[in-house]
Amino acid sequence: MRVHVVSDVHGNSRDLAAAGAGADALICLGDLVLFLDYADHSRGIFPELFGVANADAVVELRTARRFEEARALGRRLWGELDRTGVSRESAIEGAVRRQYAELFAAFPNPTYATYGNVDIPRLWPEYAGPGTTVLDGQRVEIGGRVFGFVGGGLTTPMRTPYEISDEEYAAKIEAVGEVDVLCTHIPPDVPELCYDTVARRFERGSAALLHAIRTTRPRYSLFGHVHQPLVRRARIEGTECVNVGHFNATGTPYVLEW
Contact at 8 Å (CB) between 10 and 34? yes
Angle at 116 between CA 136 and CA 57, to 5 degrees: 160
Q: Is 151 helix (H, G, I), strand (E, B) or coil?
A: coil
Contact at 8 Å (CB) between 155 and 165? yes
pTM of the model: 0.91
Read off the amino acid at residue 129. G
Read off the amino acid at residue 2. R
| Per-residue pLDDT at 236 | 97
Rounded to whole angstroms, the Cα distance separating 27 from 10 reads 15
Q: Tens digits of per-residue pLDDT, 54-71?
A: 999 999 998 888 989 999
Q: Tens digits of per-residue pLDDT, 113-165?
A: 999 999 999 999 999 999 999 999 999 999 999 999 999 999 998 889 999 99
